[in-house]
Structure 1
Amino acid sequence: MNGNIFLVGLMGTGKTTIGRALARKLNKRFIDTDHEIEARTGASIPVIFEIEGEASFRRREAEIIRELSAEHDIVLATGGGAILLPENRAYLKSRGTVIYLRASINQILQRTSRDQSRPLLQTADPRKKLEELSREREPYYREVADVVIETGRPNLHFLLHSIINQLPPGSAALAATTYTPFTAMADTPSFITLPVSLGERSYPISIGHGLLDDRELFAASIAGTRTVIVTNDLVAPLYLERLTATLTAAGKQVSAIVLPDGEEYKNWSSLMIIFDRLLADKCDRKTTLIALGGGVIGDLTGYAAASYMRGVPFVQVPTTLLAQVDSSVGGKTGINHPLGKNMIGAFYQPQAVIADTATLQTLPARELAAGLAEVIKHGAIIDAPFFDWIEAHIDQLNAKDPAALAQAIRRSCEIKAEVVRQDEREGGLRAVLNFGHTFGHAIESGLGYGVWLHGEAVGCGMVMAADMSHRLGYLSEASSLRVRTLVAAAGLPVTAPDLGATTWLEWMRVDKKNEDGKIKFILIKPLGTPLITDVPQEVLLATLAHCTGKTP
């Protein structure tokens, strides 16, 4: 591979702006074909169109592409119609990595409305013309694309990170944002600290056996004296007294709020119970909330901390595998609504995450499996060697082997912490962590919260996303089968419930990733590399039919 990156897409999708920034990031030379044509002819593109016509312009463009695509380590922004010629498509496909930049018609019109240098838009109805161009060119863009990037979000920083993290291996010097592939530790240390680097909002993740008894760790993690533990009626009998003793020994004043256990209680009523107690006990801004439990307790406590007195400190003490590897890290907090999962909430970072791996020994098998779904997810989207390791060690993980669990938690937290560092508020890159979640959230909402565990729904959702990735040619059949086999080996469901196509579509349309009415999916291309895109409805319906058992 010669290190070339070629940008294709309609006018107004950001090829020049993104291309320049990407070239600087990767230390490559940037070239824009339109600018190169103007430099060589001494005439502007509109003038060339007017005097010579579009056919002559396309010949000049083809000559430029043939010449420049043979160079090395360039970022080349092509004209919107460059892919119409078969020879151009052949050169681009064979001589570099092709990135298709997409934007909605509305977004393109906003960006080009005052631009007189677009000869094809100098018509009475620019919208109609853009729609025609999109219909004509979309199949060709898809044909040549290695990566598809939606440029609807205006944050250039996040777009660059999204592109760089989707570049195939060997396609470019992948800059500082590349993840170091997983390497298992020969000896698992008893205590690991990982940073989540977010400037003033940075905090440590502490992972180890017996941390619930570490009063020095809790004393260092909590600035104030007053603490309120929020937990549920399943976890409280196991760990509330123990954590209370540790906090008391650390010089903290402790009270507790015990909520009912279950996803169905991640709602406004539970949030009000927390607020009622905090207000009744006259808790002030220096009170620290401590989330002792799984993902539901973590999300609820975090949202309460973000909202009470406009923000009080909180600490995550996750006791489930799912919470330790995923939900406790990254500052996503919130509650469910009858019309959509996790649609109400806030980004609010904890002061610390303290994960005691000993708590996993009391975890029911079903809850352990739910957590393994998120472990598998991290390997599937970011780190193929980690996915390989999970396959090789799934029996040890199912058996709650402490060393295997510590490895899985450590690597999952490393991956999530790096994604959060790059995209704290899900402006682009962080959305890849939702692999399997578009389907999974629809399952949870369609069946009713709590019927399937969140991790069970995500596990099945990953099988569905892998099937869709294969149908679109992004993933081999063998890799899709590997995802299905590993999810099943973890004890998770691989056949989706038959909600009916109408219900599936209704719930998937209620998703924070969606834009302009289009359902966005996190797919993989190939295993270990994420892709954010919308898909043709016929492909979605085929996946739904296959994964619900309606077709073989």
Structure 2
Amino acid sequence: MGSGKTTVGRALARKLNKRFIDSDHEIEARTGASIPLIFEIEGEASFRQREAEVIRELVTLDNVVVATGGGAILNPASRGLLAANGTVIYLRASVNSILQRTSHDRNRPLLQTADPRQRIEELSREREPLYREIADIVIDTGRPNVQFLVNAILNQLDQTGSSAANSAMPSHHHLSNPPPAACADATVTLEVSLGDRSYPVAIGPALLDDVTLMARHVCGERAAIVTNTVVAPLYLERVTRTLAAAGKQVTAIVLPDGEEEKTWANLMTIFDALLANKCDRKTTLIALGGGVVGDMTGFAAASYMRGVPLIQIPTTLLSQVDSSVGGKTGINHPLGKNMIGAFYQPRAVIADTATLDSLPARELSAGLAEVIKHGAIIDAEFFSWIEANMAALLAKDLAALAHAILRSCEIKVEIVRQDEREGGIRAILNFGHTFAHAIEAGLGYGTWLHGEAVGCGMVMAADLSHRLGLLDALSKERITALVKAAGLPVVAPNLGVTNWLELMQVDKKNEGGTIRFILLQPLGAAKIDTVPPAMLAATLQACVASA
């Protein structure tokens, strides 16, 4: 239970072009009763008998992926049928993961006890030998991204030479944590699942030269590449050559570089070029660069002819781990950052990790701010991994960077899937940003890089969370130390208290003129709330440089 059999099984079936069947759902459909009700009325022994009968039928089917109940292997006949009639994929999850995933699920009859942890450990000891007895493939599920798990299964199917004519997926509870996977030498593709607006996020090296990939996502005959004066000399010719090899006509639009250039005037420059080159509504706009280029090109794509296709090709760490995914687009206003824009999802995100080789140290550090943010708000284990691997990240170790990008994108993808337009949980991705946006506007756009402001903003948000009793002192210090280790500022500029408050009031999260902050409760979990003015004043006093 809680290992992801149904979710992973359904996604695997789609990849293999097979039919998916969940044995528990099949039992419920046949009886008209839920699994907990069957347990309550008939008892576990009767349920196991029903389960064995269903499995006996399911293993005779061709071209199916079957997700079994976690206890299906307790029946010797079922074990034999599964082993003899298909490829058995064994999903492992740690006790902590199982507890986290099932803690609020009342449909787990075996866990309705005073001590669910002890019960899970008992089930693990009982079932572990039986899973190993019949498993052809073992997959650790410590990393919850579905696409990653499906790709791991497909890779093992290829290595074992299995045709996966039928696949059965028993679940299991395991006590070890899997090592992080990386895509340093291979491409990993995630999917932002938004119905008819769904799109892939491809992460890997040498993607700028992948003609097939470009041809797949640039559907029309024409493409317009929007880039800037820094990125253009590095990558514009390569991408143009790849698109030409795919049979596409290319228009290049080169903008000035810098956050201060994220303006209405430069947006008009994009429109001027599109109109001058007679680009139609089938022209694909390609954002080649960092977050500024991505945001402006996205806004242009959302607006030009009321919407044209968009592809994001992020070339900075910050844009690869955050801004290119999720469909936020826009420009800055002198009174507020990103206050004018639109939600507009791309057709694809193509993150070539090799482009980070040319990234200046300051830009690398700025990108690490968003990596740290993802760990702080939702994944304490990832936060600890960043602490342990900061030196490797700063040294541009390919495996470390690949894992940081992949995990960050997994987190962003899942949050966007749940809340595309920031009506709820997506707001937690703005951890530190209320302070950060005030810093950027107060100093003037471009004085601090966005990631530098976010890093300092997270230190301030952690201080505020601690003062409110939500975050322990050690976690607050860990956040400050990690931001500093990444080469980011931890002391905020002195903008004046009145100016600070005025700048923070211009924030999209605010309601009714009340400033709302993303707070940690504890490290690895976030909430959005208002705060008492005295607490905010104390944080400003503690974190802002003396005059």
**Aligned match of 1:460:** 456
Q: Percent identity?
A: 69
**Aligned match of 1:419:** 415
User: 2:393 is matched with which residue: 397, 402, 416?
Assistant: 397
User: 1:235 is matched with which residue: 228, 231, 241?
Assistant: 231
Q: Please tell me the residue identity of whatever aligns with 1:463.
A: V
1:282 equivalent in alignment to 2:278? yes
1:332 equivalent in alignment to 2:328? yes
SS where residue 496 of structure 1 aligns? coil
CA distance in structure 1 between the partners assigned to 2:325 and 2:250 by the alignment: 24
Distance 1:223 1:321, change over 3 A: same
CA distance in structure 2 between the partners assigned to 1:542 and 1:169 by the alignment: 37
User: 1:185 is matched with which residue: 176, 180, 184?
Assistant: 180
Q: Please tell me the residue identity of whatever aligns with 2:144.
A: T
Q: Please tell me the residue identity of whatever aligns with 1:200.
A: D
**Aligned match of 2:383:** 387
Note the 1:286-325 alignment, pairs <5 A: 286-325=282-321
CA shift, 1:185, in A, is: 3.2
CA shift, 1:170, in A, is: 8.2
TM-superposition CA deviations, 1:26-72 (whole Å, max 9, x none) = x99xxxxxxxxxxxxxxxxxxxxxxxxxxxxxxxxxxxxxxxxxxxx
CA distance in structure 1 between the partners assigned to 2:143 and 2:237 by the alignment: 40
Q: Is the 8 A contact 2:182 2:403 kept in 1?
A: no
Distance 1:421 1:174, change over 3 A: farther
SS where residue 507 of structure 1 aligns? helix
CA shift, 1:222, in A, is: 1.1
CA RMSD after TM alignment: 2.2
**Aligned match of 1:366:** 362
User: 1:484 is matched with which residue: 471, 480, 487?
Assistant: 480
CA distance in structure 1 between the partners assigned to 2:506 and 2:433 by the alignment: 12
CA distance in structure 2 between the partners assigned to 1:378 and 1:324 by the alignment: 13
User: 2:104 is matched with which residue: 172, 177, 187?
Assistant: 172
CA shift, 1:517, in A, is: 1.3
SS where residue 219 of structure 2 aligns? coil
SS where residue 497 of structure 1 aligns? coil
TM-score of the two chains, using structure 1 as the length reference:
0.68
Q: Please tell me the residue identity of whatever aligns with 2:246.
A: A
TM-superposition CA deviations, 1:150-190 (whole Å, max 9, x none) = xxxxxxxxxxxxxxxxx9998634999x9839954356451
SS where residue 312 of structure 2 aligns? strand
SS where residue 512 of structure 1 aligns? coil
1:272 equivalent in alignment to 2:236? no
Distance 1:544 1:393, change over 3 A: same
TM-superposition CA deviations, 1:336-387 (whole Å, max 9, x none) = 0011100000000000000000000100000000000000000000100000
CA distance in structure 1 between the partners assigned to 2:338 and 2:102 by the alignment: 37
SS where residue 456 of structure 2 aligns? helix
**Aligned match of 2:497:** 501
Q: Please tell me the residue identity of whatever aligns with 1:479.
A: S
Q: Please tell me the residue identity of whatever aligns with 2:461.
A: A
CA distance in structure 2 between the partners assigned to 1:187 and 1:530 by the alignment: 26
**Aligned match of 2:345:** 349
CA shift, 1:334, in A, is: 0.4
Note the 1:234-273 alignment, pairs <5 A: 234-273=230-269
Note the 1:130-145 alignment, pairs <5 A: none
**Aligned match of 1:512:** 508
CA distance in structure 2 between the partners assigned to 1:544 and 1:227 by the alignment: 47
SS where residue 313 of structure 2 aligns? strand
CA distance in structure 2 between the partners assigned to 1:252 and 1:261 by the alignment: 26
Q: Is the 8 A contact 1:168 1:529 kept in 2?
A: no
CA distance in structure 2 between the partners assigned to 1:241 and 1:530 by the alignment: 43
Q: Is the 8 A contact 2:181 2:403 kept in 1?
A: no
CA distance in structure 1 between the partners assigned to 2:193 and 2:400 by the alignment: 26
CA distance in structure 2 between the partners assigned to 1:262 and 1:460 by the alignment: 20
Q: Unpaired segments of 5 or more residues in structure 1? A: 1-26, 29-166
Q: Is the 8 A contact 2:281 2:308 kept in 1?
A: yes
Q: Unpaired segments of 5 or more residues in structure 2? A: 1-34, 37-98, 109-141, 146-176
CA distance in structure 1 between the partners assigned to 2:505 and 2:309 by the alignment: 34
Q: Please tell me the residue identity of whatever aligns with 1:215.
A: V
**Aligned match of 2:525:** 529
Distance 1:545 1:238, change over 3 A: same
CA distance in structure 2 between the partners assigned to 1:379 and 1:468 by the alignment: 18
SS where residue 228 of structure 1 aligns? strand
**Aligned match of 2:40:** none
CA shift, 1:550, in A, is: 4.5
Q: Please tell me the residue identity of whatever aligns with 1:225.
A: E
Q: Is the 8 A contact 2:284 2:311 kept in 1?
A: yes
Count of residue correspondences: 387
CA distance in structure 2 between the partners assigned to 1:371 and 1:394 by the alignment: 12
Q: Is the 8 A contact 1:191 1:209 kept in 2?
A: yes
Distance 1:186 1:349, change over 3 A: closer
**Aligned match of 1:223:** 219
CA distance in structure 1 between the partners assigned to 2:305 and 2:291 by the alignment: 23
